[in-house]
Chain A
Amino acid sequence: MTTSAPVLPKLIGERVKRREDPRLVRGLGTYVDDLKVTGMRHVAFKRSDIAHGTIRKIDTSAAEKMDGVEAVFTGADIAKILAPMPIGTPFPSPPHYAVAADTVRYAGEPVALVVAADRYVAKDAADAIVVTYDPLPVVVDPEAAMEGKPGVIHKDFPNNLAVALVPSGTGVAPDFSKIDNTAVDKAFAEAEVKISQRMVNHRLVPNAMEPRGVLAHWEPGKETMTIWSSTQNPHILKTMIAAMNGLGQHQVRAIAPEVGGGFGAKINIYAEEYVCSVVSKKLGIPVKWIEDRTEAFVATTHGRDIIGYVDIAARKDGKVLGLKMRLIADIGAYNMLLTAAVPTLTMLMANGTYDIPAIRTTLTEVFTNKTPTDAYRGAGRPEATYFVERAMDMLARELNMDPAELRRKNFIKPNQFPYQTQMGAVYDSGDYEKTLDVALKAANWKGLIAERDKARKEGRLVGLGLAFYVEVCGLGPSSSLPTGGWEHGQVTIERDGRITATTGASPHGQGNETTFAQMLADQFSVPFEHVTILHGDTGIVKQGIGTFGSRSQAVAGTALHLAGAKVKKKMAQFAAAMLEASEDDIVFENGTIGVKGAPAKAKPFAAIAGYAYVPVPLPQGMEPGLSDEAFFEPANNTYPFGCHISMLEIDRETGEPTLVKLIAVDDAGNLINPLIVEGQIHGGLAQGIGQAMIEEAVYNDEGQLMTGSFMDYAMPRATDFPRFEMASTVTPTPVNPFGAKGVGEAGTLGSTPCIVSAAVDALSPFGVKHIDMMLRPEKLWKIINGGGRS
């Protein structure tokens, strides 16, 4: 090694530009709809236009006669070749046919499908199918549904109870054998102040910009199924497709090509994926289905939709003594892969960042005649944050305390970590007060208060909101996920010294091709450009779980790091043999491998790699080659946290709210790439603000989604946001070697309650204590003009 060799910069912690981008900014990414396979036919679904009814008759004759139509399948036809779809949670679940065979239970449920030569013909033919229904009572209101009104959706689930009153918290044995309310009752009996509020965390439509799509290709000769899908977890897809087609896992290859966003809604394994696979197998031809946007509004799972009855018991000095949270989740018509589990995360995180001695939560999940819910960015944790933070805000208002000081008084203290919560979580690390102080400073909280008060004197309706959050990320461990909670990584040093690594994470916007390459480049001290990350193809990536629950860096990143360490050790052994040195003295430096204290001996990285593949002589006891893998099973989840502050102004004349300021201070532990982390937080903020201010899935009494297209559902636009102000603190986790916690969902947690609290603050002159989202101007105008409402 010469002294003039360039020194490679450390990349972990740097704002490295994404390597995914050059292809994407040129339009050269390949999404499912961009793929063609020879002989491919197109699938279109006929979907129910009513929310609840029995199918009296399906007339497919006109569709079958159309030019270009290859086949038409009804629900009864599909039921012969496909069993009801499985779920991924341990709760009882009614049979769910991929294509409804006799009863439809939500508007948009598939009832038949067409296979045709092109997409236009397939859609024409699907339109030509005539279905006659006998309508049944439509169940829309979850609280009426719990009493069996106006009807029952699944016969074995009386009163529409999918999950009935699961209790959790203080005094509840893990197996529910003992439920002792003494502590909770005592807290409420001793309280000097109580807050009691029903709150709605309403239903949202995830709306990844790429709708879903599937291309299934059964090859009769090889007896293999290749399925491309816009999914967040190709390995789970592979497992499920194999099982439902009666195939071995070795016969199925699942590929997530470029995926245009997921936000949790592409975790579920969907009817269309199963149906395309069995139809391809039955017909022996490749078939493709691409979802329309308006179809996506009803066919892709929704998010949130939990009602919370929240009670807080406190002393006059602000100390919270007890918390009760009765949760009712409207899960729609069916249980999907993780549906039933999502609201359990709301229970798990009920106490947020507070040391509350007595907590009782109960959870009821209810079927209604709506599109099923499943994970949506945050999945259960934004709901928990919303409920506890809104209640804390109400308590602060009741006590006339600064909302920041009330929180400070109740925080779990740094010396209490790891902190076992009453809800069964073990928070890994935290220093909430530090983050609060940074946020108050970044926002100039006192200045904002003065600004608000001045505006009020001028007659303007300006409000401030503050919310603190903690979320559970880095999912597993395996005890917490039916798929297993590990992740897999494999690192191969190629003969030319380039590094190829595979990860079981399946990024769809998260930038793992960049962040994981940063990690490995540092680990081996090679140029960033020499590291390639492969993902999303079960034919290349041997094992994996997928991307959800803000787990990529914490779990998949660690798996790659561990695989890299194994390979590095072997490479050091080859280097020791070649350089006639002790393995302990081998150093990886600036693209070379050398010997400590003897720089002249160093060889290029590629030279050692070449030697490992043509090992003459082969060092004693060694195998040739440089490739190894690791499964990483985290010992615990990670618990990132943060503080969001907002300022909102409401137009007195129109009731229209404008978000004036949003300050986000997040602590995700150590960061690999702050540029990407910022982007993740921005995106989460936009979705959280969207929920608070403009987005809502609205159903009418007939079970029709009234906000069922981009014409009606308010997707946030660039003009809806101020410039976000960001800061961060760093509290590493001990759970993984990077100290990284996860950040994909964070933005959705704090933003929503802090904005609603700001709206309540703005309208507090009218005596308002709580406003349910979203902040529709009409609703605010009525408060302004009709006096207060609680």
Chain B
Amino acid sequence: MIPVAITVNGKVRTAHVEPRTLLVHFLREHLNLTGTHVGCDTSQCGACTVIVDGRSAKSCTIFAVQADGSTVTTIEGLAADGKLHPVQEGFWEEHGLQCGYCTPGMIMSAVNLLQDNPSPDEKQIREGIAGNFCRCTGYQHIVNAIQHAAKHGGGKAAR
């Protein structure tokens, strides 16, 4: 067992974990932050996307011990003071989700996308979320959601 200290959603969380523990399992099983989902086992689907030290990352591809000392934001840490992040608002406003399973990862990728490029065009949005699978929406309403977020300060919002 290896000790880790990871700052998750603003709070330092310490634990002893097996070296093989994936970051996503650390978040879900140790911290009960179950908003981050597991949709595959080959790092394709992006359902587990979180933000690690300012960049979106697939948390199934990182061991918890690798994230030791890092700062992680999960979907649960996105809304501030009870107010939804503009990207979350965009998804609600534009029907950017159906079953909701890919949604947390999709939102985290979109947050990263808008931070890099606060006013992306449609092609840039589609490319920006190409690492996240959604089986329900056909992506069109997700694109609309991210456009909505971009118009409403999604790129500048804190996270």
Contact = CB atoms under 8 A, between A and B. Distances in A.
B78 interface: yes
Given A31-B37, A293-B39, A678 B98 contact: no
Nearest to B126: A718
Interface stretch (A19-27, A149-157, A518-526): A19-27
Nearest to A29: B100
A719 B18 contact: no
B133 interface: yes
A334 B91 CA distance: 41
Interface stretch (A183-191, A204-212, A452-460, A478-486): A204-212
Contacts of A679: 95, 98, 136-137, 141
A682 B137 contact: yes
B38 interface: yes
B81 interface: no
A686 interface: yes
A348 B33 CA distance: 48
A261 interface: yes
B101 A31 contact: yes
Contacts of B79: 26
Nearest to A260: B101
A710 B137 contact: no
A511 interface: yes
Interface in B26-52: 28, 33-42, 44-45, 47
B138 A26 contact: no
Contacts of B103: 24-25
Contacts of A31: 34, 37, 101
B59 interface: no
B15 interface: no
Contacts of B35: 26-29
Contacts of B135: 207-209, 261, 263, 683, 686-687, 715
Nearest to A711: B42
B116 interface: no
Contact of A210 (B39, B75, B127, B137): B39
A18 B95 contact: yes
Contact of A120 (B20, B41, B44): B20
Contacts of B137: 679, 682-683, 686
A258 B100 contact: yes
Given A26-B78, A26-B79, A709-B41, A723 B122 contact: yes
A63 B103 CA distance: 37
Interface string B77-92: 0110000100010011
A14 interface: no
A675 interface: yes
A27 B125 CA distance: 22
A582 interface: no
A573 to B, nearest CB: 40
Contacts of A747: 138
A260 B126 CA distance: 22
If over half of B's interface residues share one DSSP class (helix, strand or loop), that class is named, otherwise mixed; here it is loop
A56 interface: no
B113 to A, nearest CB: 11
| Most chain B Cβ neighbours within 10 Å, of A28, A258, A510 | A28
A91 interface: no
Interface string B87-115: 01001110101111111100100000000
B66 interface: no
Contacts of A292: 41
B102 A209 contact: yes
Interface in A685-743: 685-687, 709-711, 715-719, 721, 723-724
A710 B140 contact: no
Contacts of B122: 723
A685 B41 contact: no
Interface string A251-283: 000000011110100000000000000000000
Contact of B42 (A24, A30, A508, A709): A709
Contact of B92 (A25, A28, A34, A710): A25
Contact of A261 (B20, B41, B136, B139): B136
Contacts of B56: none
A759 interface: no
A259 to B, nearest CB: 7
A17 interface: yes
Contacts of B91: 21, 25
A676 interface: yes
A33 interface: yes
Given A682-B141, A721-B139, A675 B44 contact: no
Interface string A280-305: 00000000000011100000000000
A682 B92 contact: no
| Most chain B Cβ neighbours within 10 Å, of A18, A34, A120, A260 | A260
Interface string B47-65: 1000000000000000000
B150 interface: no
B8 interface: no
A788 interface: no
Given A293-B41, A721-B140, A723-B122, A208 B99 contact: yes
Contacts of B72: none
A33 B138 CA distance: 25
Nearest to B39: A209
A509 B135 CA distance: 11
A24 B134 CA distance: 14
A261 B45 CA distance: 14
B5 interface: no
B101 A261 contact: yes
| Most chain B Cβ neighbours within 10 Å, of A26, A207, A724 | A26
Contacts of A718: 125-127, 129-130, 132, 134, 139, 142-143
B154 to A, nearest CB: 13
Contacts of A24: 97, 100, 103
A204 B6 CA distance: 41
A686 B138 contact: yes
Interface in A607-654: none
Contact of B138 (A20, A211, A259, A721): A721
B101 A26 contact: no
Interface in A184-230: 207-211
Contacts of A293: 39-42, 45
Nearest to B88: A25
A49 to B, nearest CB: 16
Contacts of B101: 31, 208-210, 260-261
A682 B138 contact: yes
B71 to A, nearest CB: 18
A509 B139 contact: no
Nearest to A261: B99
B136 A30 contact: no
Closest 6 CB pairs of A and B: A27-B35, A260-B101, A24-B100, A27-B75, A509-B99, A682-B138
Interface of A: 17-18, 20-22, 24-31, 33-34, 120, 207-211, 258-261, 263, 292-294, 508-511, 675-676, 678-680, 682-687, 709-711, 715-719, 721, 723-724, 747
Given A21-B100, A33-B37, 18 more contacts: A25-B103, A26-B84, A27-B33, A27-B76, A28-B35, A34-B28, A208-B101, A209-B47, A210-B39, A211-B39, A259-B99, A509-B136, A682-B139, A684-B138, A717-B133, A717-B139, A719-B130, A747-B138
21 contacts: A18-B95, A26-B76, A27-B34, A27-B35, A27-B36, A28-B35, A28-B76, A30-B34, A31-B37, A34-B34, A120-B21, A209-B136, A260-B102, A293-B40, A294-B42, A682-B137, A683-B138, A718-B127, A721-B140, A723-B140, A724-B138
